[in-house]
């Protein structure tokens, strides 16, 4: 039987991670996978996470199963973090999932149950695992224009023109903030226009929010999601705690489905629990419990927010330093977009050959589409990266 298996295409981001590990050069720089690193190049365990883990170790008395949808307290804490008071709690069904990817997978399966044959609209470009999972599930998909490669910003006109073709029952996948891979984001007035267009077409929004707190701030980064959820009858949201709590390997995420009214919620909730049972039964609990403890304790929450803010501001400083160094070296403002983009990523506009050259000659690893992870860069490494970008002729 196993001889029938074919090689699967490698995930480009994860393949790059392996290549980086295998490179013996000491001065190599990893700008690939979306993992935050501090000035020392370390992915730290956040202070509040450490403190919560200590308390948990001292007080946790059982590892017995939680509920199929995870601990309701986690769902409640995450509803508050992502949605604030944008919608009534009684309309929000939610289930804990293994990471943000798990939430996306469960969300797509929910969509397939609710609207078989639904076309999923994806931004061009998007996180490569979006189309990969959709293809694997055999669901139809289409792209909408999103990134204007010349202006290195959002092609909003193209986006609106393409999304105008969405049909009722279709689903539009939107990045809640910190667009991956481009770093170019919608403004609040643009979110308003997207909401109006979704209303008009009858398509359902599916929001992937994996970097809340990495862009303009915790509240600011949730504003688009809240606006959509407040305005549309139904919204599906996949949220990740991997990045903003720095608990990547704990696999902590949540799928939320905002139902049209409270009467509809129990059936939606039942479907979320059913899907968890089919795919992995009970979701992982450790990370979810830490997040719940942090969000529900004023002191831990304040410390977490302060550290997250330090991380966010550090990324902004690096964006500015890189843009300034590139301005100095190129004598032009053509890399100014790096300081304008938000979140971990920017697409810097290098060709695949230029990306390869930077890897081979300078030991700088970025994804083939020239996505760089700003949080993988230290201030000390900025001059080296800027010089390599200019040397490669970008």
List residues binding ligand LMR (CB under 6 A).
Answer: 13, 33-34, 127, 129, 180
34 vs 183, which CB is nearer to ligand LMR? Answer: 34
Q: How far apart are CA 292 and CA 76, in angstroms?
A: 9
| Catalytic annotation present for 127 | yes
Per-residue burial over 169-190, b = 16 or more CB atoms within 10 Å of its CB, e = otherwise: ebbbbbbbbbbbbbbbbbeeee
Catalytic option among 75, 243, 285, 339: 243
Instruction: Quote the least distance from Cβ 362 to ligand LMR, whole Å.
Output: 21
| Catalytic annotation present for 265 | no
Catalytic option among 52, 86, 95, 210: 210
118 vs 134, which CB is nearer to ligand LMR? Answer: 134
181 vs 205, which CB is nearer to ligand LMR? Answer: 181
Catalytic option among 30, 162, 170, 208: 208
Catalytic option among 77, 103, 127, 170: 127
Instruction: Quote the least distance from Cβ 72 to ligand LMR, whole Å.
Output: 27
| Catalytic annotation present for 216 | no
Q: How far apart are CA 131 and CA 276, in angstroms?
A: 21
| Catalytic annotation present for 208 | yes
13 vs 120, which CB is nearer to ligand LMR? Answer: 13
Instruction: Quote the least distance from Cβ 212 to ligand LMR, whole Å.
Output: 14
When CB distances to ligand LMR are compared, the closest residue is 34
Instruction: Quote the least distance from Cβ 8 to ligand LMR, whole Å.
Output: 16
214 vs 335, which CB is nearer to ligand LMR? Answer: 214
| Nearest-10 Cα torsion for 178, 179, 183, 186 | -80
Instruction: Quote the least distance from Cβ 161 to ligand LMR, whole Å.
Output: 27
Residues marked active site are found at 127, 208, 210, 243
């Amino acid at each position: 039987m196993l001889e029938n298996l074919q090689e699967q295409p490698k995930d480009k981001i994860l393949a790059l991670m392996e290549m980086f590990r295998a490179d013996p050069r000491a001065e190599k720089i990893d700008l690939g996978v979306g993992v935050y690193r501090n000035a020392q190049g370390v992915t730290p365990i956040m202070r509040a996470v450490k403190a919560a883990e200590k308390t948990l170790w001292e007080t946790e008395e059982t590892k017995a199963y939680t509920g199929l949808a995870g601990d309701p307290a986690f769902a409640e804490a995450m509803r508050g973090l992502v949605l604030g008071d944008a919608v009534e709690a009684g309309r929000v069904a939610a289930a804990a999932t293994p990471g943000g990817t798990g939430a996306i997978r469960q969300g797509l399966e929910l969509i397939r149950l609710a609207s078989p044959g639904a076309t999923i609209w994806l931004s061009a470009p998007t996180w490569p695992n979006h189309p990969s999972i959709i293809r694997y599930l055999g669901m139809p998909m289409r792209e909408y224009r999103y990134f204007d490669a010349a202006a290195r910003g959002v092609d909003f006109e193209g986006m609106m023109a393409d999304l105008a073709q969405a049909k009722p029952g279709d689903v539009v996948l939107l990045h809640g903030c910190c667009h991956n891979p481009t770093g170019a984001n919608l403004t609040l007035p643009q979110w308003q226009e997207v909401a109006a267009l979704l209303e008009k077409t009858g398509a359902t929004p599916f929001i992937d929010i994996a970097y809340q707190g990495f862009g303009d701030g915790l509240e600011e980064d949730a504003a688009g999601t809240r606006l959509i959820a407040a305005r549309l009858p139904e919204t599906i949201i996949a949220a990740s705690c991997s990045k903003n709590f720095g608990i990547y390997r704990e696999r902590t995420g949540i799928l939320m489905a905002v139902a049209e009214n409270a009467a509809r919620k129990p059936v939606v909730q039942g479907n979320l629990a059913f899907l968890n049972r089919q795919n992995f039964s009970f979701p992982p609990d450790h990370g979810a419990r830490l997040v719940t403890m942090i969000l529900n304790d004023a002191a831990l929450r304040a410390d977490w927010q302060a550290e997250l803010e330090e991380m966010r501001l550090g990324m902004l400083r690096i964006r500015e330093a890189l843009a300034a160094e590139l301005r100095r070296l190129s004598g032009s403002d053509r890399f100014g977009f790096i300081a304008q983009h938000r979140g971990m990523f920017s697409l810097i506009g290098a060709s695949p050959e230029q990306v390869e050259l930077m890897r081979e000659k300078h030991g700088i690893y970025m994804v083939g589409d020239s996505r760089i992870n700003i949080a993988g860069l230290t201030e000390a490494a900025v001059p080296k990266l800027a010089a390599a970008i200019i040397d490669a002729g970008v």
